[in-house]
Amino acid sequence: MKPSGRIQARLALAIVITALIPVLVAIWMGSKSVRETSARYFIPEIGMHLDRSLGLYQELARTLKARMREEASAISLSPGLRRAVAQSDGPAVRAELEKQITAHPSLVALRVTLPGGAVLAEADRGRPLDPARENQLDVDKPLTEDDDGAQLSLVFAADRARFDELSEMGQFIDNYNLIDRRSKADVQGYVWAFTVLLGITIALAIAVGTLLARGVVVRLGELASATQTVGAGNLSIRVSEVGNDEITALARAFNRMLGEVEGSRARIEYLQRVSAWQEMARRLAHEIKNPLTPIQLGVQEIHRRYQGSDEKFRDLLDTTLEIVEDEVGTLRRLVSEFSDFARLPQAHLQDADLVEFLGEQRRQIETEGQNEGERSVIRLAARRPIFSWQLPSSPADVAIDRQMLRRVLLNLIQNAADALADAKVEAPRIEVTLTRQGDFFAVDVDDNGPGIPPALREVVFDPYVTTKHTGTGLGLAIVKKIAIEHGGSATADAGRLGGARLRLTLPARGTAAARELPLRTEHPSRPIA
pLDDT in tens, 347-406: 889 999 999 999 999 998 877 655 554 456 677 766 788 999 999 999 999 999 999 999
CATH of segment(s) 76-165: 3.30.450
Per-residue pLDDT for 525 more than 50?
Answer: no
Q: How far apart are CA 424 and CA 259, in angstroms?
A: 41
| Model pLDDT, residue 500 | 94
What's the CA angle centered on 102, arms 97 and 106, to 5 degrees? Answer: 95
Is 238 a residue whose pLDDT tops 60?
yes
Which region among 42-56, 89-103, 290-304, 371-385 has the lowest average model confidence (pLDDT)?
42-56
Mean pLDDT over 428-447 rounds to: 95
**Cα–Cα distance, 312 to 309 (Å, whole number):** 9
Helices (H) and strands (E) in the chain, counts: 11, 11
Average pLDDT of the chain? Answer: 78
What is the per-residue pLDDT for 248?
81
Mean of the pLDDT values across residues 470-488? 83
Residue 519 confidence (pLDDT): 58
pLDDT tens across 189-214, in order? 767 777 777 778 777 777 777 777 77
C-alpha–C-alpha distance, residues 497 and 450, integer Å = 10
User: Residue 373: its pLDDT value, please?
Assistant: 47
Q: Which homologous superfamily does the CATH classification assign to the domain defined by 348-368+383-529?
A: Histidine kinase-like ATPase, C-terminal domain (3.30.565.10)
Top-confidence residue, 178 or 493 = 493
Q: Compare 178 and 252 and report the one with higher pLDDT.
A: 252
217-242: average pLDDT: 79
Q: Quick one: pLDDT at residue 408? A: 92
pLDDT over 90 percentage in the chain: 17
Position 325 scores a pLDDT of 79
Q: Which pLDDT score is estimated for 390?
A: 95
Residue 444 is predicted with a pLDDT of 96
pLDDT band at 527 (very low <50, low <70, confident <90, very high): very low
CA pair distance 401, 383, nearest whole angstrom: 32
Q: Look at 313-322, 326-335, 468-477, 517-526 and tell me which has the smallest mean pLDDT.
A: 517-526
Query: For residue 73, what pLDDT is reported?
Result: 82
Average of pLDDT values for 108-120?
Answer: 82
Confidence of residue 233 (pLDDT cuts 50, 70, 90): confident
Residue 122 pairs in a beta bridge with 111
Sign of the CA dihedral running 367, 369, 374, 378: positive
Angle at 223 between CA 219 and CA 228, to 5 degrees: 145
Residue in 411, 443, 421, 417 with CA at minimum distance from that of residue 430? 417
Q: Is the pLDDT of residue 47 over 50?
A: yes
Band of pLDDT at residue 1, cut at 50, 70 and 90: very low
Q: What average pLDDT does the segment 437-445 reach?
A: 94
132 vs 333, more confident: 132
Write down the pLDDT at residue 437. 93
Looking at per-residue confidence, does 286 or 413 come out higher? 413
Q: What is the pLDDT of residue 429?
A: 94
Other Cβ atoms within 10 Å of 154 Cβ, number:
25
Lowest mean pLDDT among 86-95, 133-142, 364-373: 364-373
CB-CB contact of 445 with 378 (8 Å):
no
Which pLDDT score is estimated for 45?
56
pLDDT at 46 over 70: no
Name which of 164-173, 464-473, 474-483 the model is least confident about. Answer: 164-173
Most confident of 119-128, 146-155, 324-333: 119-128
CA distance 287 to 285: 6
Q: For residues 313-327, give the mean pLDDT.
A: 82
State yes or no: pLDDT of 529 exceeds 60: no
Domain ranges of the chain: 3-46+166-225, 76-165, 236-343, 348-368+383-529
Q: Find which of 58-72, 118-132, 441-455 is predicted with most confidence, using mean pLDDT.
A: 441-455
Q: Which helix (H) or strand (E) holds 152?
A: strand 151-159
CA 167, 169, 172: angle at the middle one, nearest 5? 110
User: Which residues does residue 275 pair with via DSSP β-bridges, in sequence order?
Assistant: none
In this structure, are residues 514 and 487 in contact, taking their beta carbons and an 8 Å threshold?
yes
Contact 135, 156 (CB under 8 A): no
pLDDT for residue 178: 67
Domains 76-165 and 348-368+383-529 share a fold: no
The answer to whether 358 touches 391, Cβ cutoff 8 Å, is yes
The residue that leads in pLDDT, 135 or 376, is: 135
